[in-house]
Structure 1
């Protein structure tokens, strides 16, 4: 071998050594990010401890190529190359390092069992062996990913007593924190995460750790543990989160003194904190609580004047709902004011209840004009008011205005749905009084039938003063016309509808029904409104009304236990049976009282939101929910049968 050949070999060897050294230096700064299926957080890996002179010359090229493949994320290729090193030589630092790398690659691919097998091949040569520590580090992570937390924790705790880089200490501390969370030990996890932050992790890692710290402090610590955290970390991070959590916990327990104590300190020190707006909302809430009596409920009724009788009856229902005879939990107070059936007086009573008695909500008043004026003032002052009026537009005044009443829309929707869905009817006719009530009901019924996929075959109106309805019946059935459309009586009526809707009182419907039979308009279903639900229905001969179906919100003889209980309690208390208005007022008051007895209802806005969110309240006038301030109810479907009224749904 001549000098030139030897020089060339040395040059090529030096070139390989320089390239390998560069690869090692580059890999030393390399950061790999991985989140495995068991929730292992981002960790910094790849801190080589192997010097190039520790690598046998015969495998240096393979080693350099393997490190390069690993650096380029060519994991399959790197795995095979490290395997070639292990096959070529049996022992030495490079073999230990190759097993470590292969274990790390398997973990990156999600094969944690394979990773464990590979890493366990790395044996400790001496105390503080860096190759063994690196392998154990990855072994702890893989055990954790497999759910073998006790083995993972045992390895991590041992490693923390050895000489480790800051990055490895951060990784182990956060790993222990994650494992402690799986053991439902949030405070111990919090301490581990705080230790990790002291090691000054990079920005990305610090953000991850802080996210865990903030979640624990905000949601997982008990009051005692929050207090311990406050004692240990009363200054610096994460004191803002600890203060906020203490404030929330004391508020949840009803400890207003300590809540205000920590709230005041938080508001003073942390004006730029993420939770500052929520803390300000709580501060505003305390201010609102000082001007409202959460146990005071106002009631405005006509207790004098021409409607005093109705007001007195309504007050009976309010008293029963408020627990006068069956005391409810909490010091509930009912403050009753007389509207005198006067709109301006009602408005003044709202102001009195709001400013002097600090009521959290108001029931009443009754009557369209009176209720409208009271509702406007209540909306202006921001106090929830539960009105009892037929006026549809009243809830459009604002979001503090509610109405609990049986509406025309409610009745028609229930009636048509039952006729179409339960009785299978598709075609309908309407015979209606030509007054505001009749015209409104006719239009609502027509629209609802069309919406349900049915059709209206005819509609005829009549004067309310009439007692002879022959003309209307003939026009409705076509018996007043011949085949050419000329007006001329023909013997047989044309009945091309399944049901006839008559929105009128019992007195008038009981006159119409026999005349329908007289003109051979038979075999059809009669439909009506709650105006049919009259005590007089049981007093006369009503064979022509048998089978008539109508709806109502309250049925005295309902088979529902809640209704039966209400009727019995009402009779025991007042010696009379409740009317439909009694039932509506009772439900209105009971809804308000039920919301008020919820410990979370502390200010007027709480009561408003509770009413808005109320769904399927089991009232005596049907299951009740509120949409845009208006009650929606599941009404009773009733039928006249043998001089009696029965509930069919």
Structure 2
């Protein structure tokens, strides 16, 4: 049945193309005394056009071929070839049709028929069910400057292709892209595809698409579907929260009444289920001593998450000050165990002793630390923090898979930070098929980098990675340009997320890319709401520590709000199953070892500011 549907759809698209691409002849006013003299070339083409319009396709084909034989460089040659291709398609000879369209791309590169030829090449693949080939060619066409005239149709074909290939998330993404550029008459068709494809999405797919899709019209349907799917899967409170957000953001939406109905049903189920159990969350934070600033920042984020939670009346936060003392942290865990906490957040500094105690007691603990090997303590120990490996994965994935950069040079400081990033970068780049063709270290006190720069310049590379501070990068990058490394893509770490970098090397650092876990200038609705709520509560702007504290608490509150979660074991199991959870600090989940996997922000230097690169 589905195959028949797509065959009909493809036929409709072809018919639209046939009707919309009629050769337009110049008009002749009635008061002209003499008819315009038509050149032989034009007369022959118009003869073929008349046959084509009369649906005498075989006769038309013969005349088009005669035209191409006599006038291969004529002004109507691309139009004649387009017609030949259409006729072969109508005869289901898609391979021959495609070869004709390819000829247009190769020979008539300045023709206004280039975009039409691209579309028809994709349609021939679609008719043949050659979806993989279609997707590969479409990727090439999208990057081509001449495709813009038909880009909406190309995206639409991709959406239909992924639908036929049973990949609804990709289908929805390309329908959304098509809607962004569609003409008014096309929007209704594309919107119908959006409405249909969204119904096939799972919760995790919707959450991922919310990060990628920029079309506000498409995001409306994603948000509604997320709430609906949550309720369908028994996540009633999540569903109510999302659908209330949907109504607030889109009060005039056609699905508003349906959203209100679903909210009413979910609230009735919540009421009928009776009062839920209360839970306690322990917080181990350095509220005094050398690291009290970070501890208090994290606590503010945690408290904000609780304050905004729909189950705040059922959650008790128990706060313990660890200072910088590992023994205090261990004792605090034992006290929290006696107070029957369901989970622990922290610590930031004294993580090892606390992790050991929590593992022994069977209480899930989410540490906020970069400490090496912390999750190896046991299956109750988790880490939710920005680590070197997370950063390196983000950089290499973007550089290799998005930009096609495989050969790197690395300049790094001869100390733990630099060597850690250097080794991880080597490992992750190699896994993606890339190579470090040159690597040079330098002394941390060094200010003249002529030696290491000249040594890496002896090798051919696509880009440079510099894992060092904004201050040091601001010294190195201008010297790179001075010694000949101009317009080379530059990559750094989150330490580059500082105005100091732009202040020191603005002219030379344009286009540089680096990852971070938090970006306050993001256009994300969730981040803007978080910043507004935080400022309203504390009269100050939040940073990444506050955001991590907020997100960690948010994950636990989401888990503890589920009816089937009654024990610490349940919490641990839910954490291990968490995937693509919507956080202020990026989509988050945990692997089997307890390490957080996060979709980091990728930031780029543009002018005097940092801008967020879109998610793919």
Q: Provide TM-score, normalisation by structure 2.
A: 0.54
Contact 1:402/1:630, CA 8 A, preserved across alignment? yes
Contact 1:546/1:641, CA 8 A, preserved across alignment? yes
Structure 2, unpaired ranges of 5+: 1-270
Q: How far apart in 2 are the matches of 1:619 and 1:498?
A: 33
Partner of residue 124, structure 2:
none
SS at match of 2:373: helix
Matched, 1:431 2:424: no
Contact 1:339/1:345, CA 8 A, preserved across alignment? yes
Contact 1:537/1:643, CA 8 A, preserved across alignment? no
Contact 2:588/2:596, CA 8 A, preserved across alignment? yes
Offset, 1:351: 0.7
Contact 2:464/2:491, CA 8 A, preserved across alignment? yes
Partner of residue 88, structure 1:
none
Offset, 1:326: 5.7
Contact 2:474/2:504, CA 8 A, preserved across alignment? no
Q: How far apart in 1 are the matches of 2:404 and 2:489?
A: 11
Report Cα offsets for 1:90-117 as digits up to 9, x if no partner. xxxxxxxxxxxxxxxxxxxxxxxxxxxx
Matched, 1:377 2:357: yes
Partner of residue 645, structure 1:
610
Q: 1:573 aligns with which of 516, 534, 537?
A: 537
Partner of residue 363, structure 1:
345
Structural mapping, 1:142-541, within 5 Å: 294-323=278-307, 328=311, 330-355=313-338, 357-367=339-349, 370-478=350-458, 496-540=460-504
Report Cα offsets for 1:202-248 as digits up to 9, x if no partner. xxxxxxxxxxxxxxxxxxxxxxxxxxxxxxxxxxxxxxxxxxxxxxx
Contact 1:503/1:529, CA 8 A, preserved across alignment? yes
SS at match of 1:504: coil
Partner of residue 596, structure 2:
631
SS at match of 1:446: helix
Partner of residue 203, structure 2:
none
Partner of residue 188, structure 2:
none
SS at match of 2:342: strand
Change (3 A) 1:452 1:514: same
Contact 1:347/1:373, CA 8 A, preserved across alignment? yes
Offset, 1:535: 3.7
Q: How far apart in 2 are the matches of 1:403 and 1:326?
A: 23
Q: How far apart in 2 are the matches of 1:608 and 1:602?
A: 11
The total of aligned residue pairs comes to 343
The structure with the largest alpha-carbon Rg is: 1
Offset, 1:643: 1.0
Q: How far apart in 1 are the matches of 2:379 and 2:504?
A: 47
Offset, 1:392: 3.1
Q: How far apart in 2 are the matches of 1:341 and 1:253?
A: 47
Structure 1, unpaired ranges of 5+: 1-251, 257-288, 479-494
Report Cα offsets for 1:93-144 as digits up to 9, x if no partner. xxxxxxxxxxxxxxxxxxxxxxxxxxxxxxxxxxxxxxxxxxxxxxxxxxxx
Contact 1:525/1:548, CA 8 A, preserved across alignment? yes
Q: How far apart in 1 are the matches of 2:299 and 2:310?
A: 17
Change (3 A) 1:448 1:541: closer
Offset, 1:328: 3.3
Report Cα offsets for 1:147-193 as digits up to 9, x if no partner. xxxxxxxxxxxxxxxxxxxxxxxxxxxxxxxxxxxxxxxxxxxxxxx
Which 4+ residue blocks in structure 1 deviate beyond 6 angstroms? Answer: 252-256
SS at match of 2:439: strand
Partner of residue 506, structure 2:
542
Q: How far apart in 2 are the matches of 1:534 and 1:449?
A: 26
Report Cα offsets for 1:444-471 as digits up to 9, x if no partner. 1111111111121100000010111001
Offset, 1:592: 1.1
Q: How far apart in 2 are the matches of 1:461 and 1:563?
A: 38
Q: How far apart in 1 are the matches of 2:367 and 2:278?
A: 20
SS at match of 1:520: coil
SS at match of 1:299: strand
Q: Provide TM-score, normalisation by structure 1.
A: 0.51
Q: How far apart in 1 are the matches of 2:296 and 2:452?
A: 43
Q: How far apart in 2 are the matches of 1:386 and 1:350?
A: 12
Q: How far apart in 2 are the matches of 1:365 and 1:554?
A: 20
Partner of residue 527, structure 2:
563
SS at match of 1:322: helix
